Amino acid sequence: MKKTGNALKILYILVTLTGIGYFVIAYKTGTLVLWGYSEDITLNNGVFPRIINYAKDIYIVLLATYLLFTENKNYTMQKDWFYLFFAIFLGIVLAIVSGNGLLCVVGGIRAYLFSFVVYCYCWKNELVENFWTKFLRTVEIMILLQLVGVVIQAGLAGGGIQLGSGAYRMMGLFTNAGTLGYFSLGAVVYLCYVFLNNETLKIEFWLFSLISIFLALASGSRGCVIYAVIIILVTVMEKSRLNQIGKILAIPLIAIVVLAVVISNLTTYVGRGNLMESGTGRFKAWSDLFELKFWQIIFGTGLGAGTNSARSLGASSIEMDSSFTVFIVQYGILGVTLFITQMIKVFQTVYRNSRYKWYVLALIGVTVLILFSGSLFEQYTFVIPLIIVFCSLYKGEEIGN
């Protein structure tokens, strides 16, 4: 079935403008906010900004319901939805046994629903050819809006965008700076994929890629800057006229640029300390797993445990900063093993079906690194373009010019 993809464009806009209501309040009051909004702004300024923030959640539930009843008519989709409902049922049982409660499960459903719905929409539907250009324009407009937001925040600061202070992290039109970083990375992933398929987008590609890197820098998200630079450099190499041997020889050069130039300067400019030192919390998450009971390590403690969504609802006190540790906390070693097995199968098929082998390898590498270092599926601004691209690569689509 051919789809215009308008539902994906609307969803992307909603997840990209979640904090615009709070942004307007902060701007009107002349309040400089770095990293995240305080309760004074989020709780004491009416319901309208919160409606904007949660509009994406209402929309994704409606879209999921629509897909369930209108497009769930073949074996594959029935199988996918069966797996979803079985995972929810199992997660509820484990949550009750562990004493986590149903509100924790709600947080877990929210954490993964965006990814599942985008997958369902893209996997069994053929996106019309002009979708790729229209979604590209949507991404570019959102990049420009985020740039305006960062510039306005810099104006409120008085001293501009002061990199190097560590806590000086711009948010754009999101509710925290980390989301701005992942938005930038998601934009780069999509820009690079469309550029690989189009001969006329060179200036457009460089302009918006550089703005995206600037936004990631302003957010203070070092990982997102590094990942974005890697994907851009690999895309440029993929697009070049180098033969296969030349591309193989270029990979060490890209690694040297990233290690010797990007990472070393990034530590200085962002001012958040050494990457290994600031990553101790992520390593600690793995050691915290041993505080669980043995049966919980094997089977998990239920859907939602350890997710950002459940913590924001006050339904989970478990802090995990890695998708793999979150999976273990929810579904145990058995669950994470099943996930890794299926993930490897997907990556193998994507690599086999794609013409852009090096771009795919870079994309897979970045995805795996984020699975180790962050809650991938809750970074909606990143995961939406990522799944769109992965589905297209998996199916070996020619997206056209």
Q: Which of 331, 319, 384 is nearest to 86 (CA)?
A: 331
Higher pLDDT, 11 or 293: 11
Q: Which of 223, 9, 15, 224 is nearest to 113 (CA)?
A: 15
Given a cut of 60, whether residue 276 has pLDDT beyond it is: no
In angstroms and rounded to an integer, the radius of gyration of the C-alpha atoms of the chain is: 21
Q: Is position 113 within any domain?
A: yes
Least confident of 133-137, 178-182, 283-287, 337-341: 283-287
pLDDT in tens, 355-387: 889 999 999 999 999 998 888 999 999 999 999
Q: What is the DSSP track for 312-331?
A: HTT-------SHHHHHHHHH
Are the C-beta atoms of 326 and 129 separated by less than 8 Å?
no
Given a cut of 60, whether residue 164 has pLDDT beyond it is: no
pLDDT in tens, 33-67: 888 887 778 877 778 888 999 999 999 999 999 98
Q: Is position 401 within any domain?
A: no
Please give the pLDDT value at position 73. 67
Give the CA-trace dihedral at 146, 148, 149, 150, to 10 degrees. 90
Token digits of residue 197: 């398929």
Q: Which of 100, 102, 22, 116 is nearest to 61 (CA)?
A: 116
Residues 6+ apart with CB under 8 A from 393: 350, 353, 354, 356, 360
Please give the pLDDT value at position 37. 84
Given a cut of 90, whether residue 350 has pLDDT beyond it is: yes
Given a cut of 80, whether residue 254 has pLDDT beyond it is: no
Given a cut of 90, whether residue 342 has pLDDT beyond it is: yes
- Dihedral sign computed on CA atoms, order 282, 287, 292, 296: positive
Given a cut of 90, whether residue 295 has pLDDT beyond it is: no
Q: Is position 170 within any domain?
A: yes
Alpha helices in 165-293, H assignment, sequence order:
177-196, 202-219, 222-239, 244-256, 264-270, 275-278, 280-288
> Please, what is the end-to-end C-alpha distance for the chain in angstroms?
21
Q: Is position 31 within any domain?
A: yes
Structural domain count, the chain: 1
Q: Is position 339 within any domain?
A: yes
The range of the structural domain enclosing residue 347 comes to 2-394
Rounded-to-integer distance, Cα 245 and Cα 358, Å: 12
Token digits of residue 146: 């985020």
pLDDT in tens, 228-251: 999 999 999 888 877 676 767 677
Q: Cα–Cα–Cα angle for 262, 266, 269, nearest 5°?
A: 140
Rounded-to-integer distance, Cα 181 and Cα 143, Å: 12
For the chain, percent of residues with pLDDT exceeding 90:
47
Please give the pLDDT value at position 60. 97
Given a cut of 60, whether residue 323 has pLDDT beyond it is: yes
Q: Which amino acid is at 1?
A: M
Q: Is position 399 within any domain?
A: no
Q: Is position 400 within any domain?
A: no
Separation of CA 87 from chain center: 22
Give 318's pLDDT tier (boundaries 50, 70, 90).
Answer: confident
Predicted TM-score (pTM) of the model is 0.90
Are the C-beta atoms of 317 and 113 separated by less than 8 Å?
no
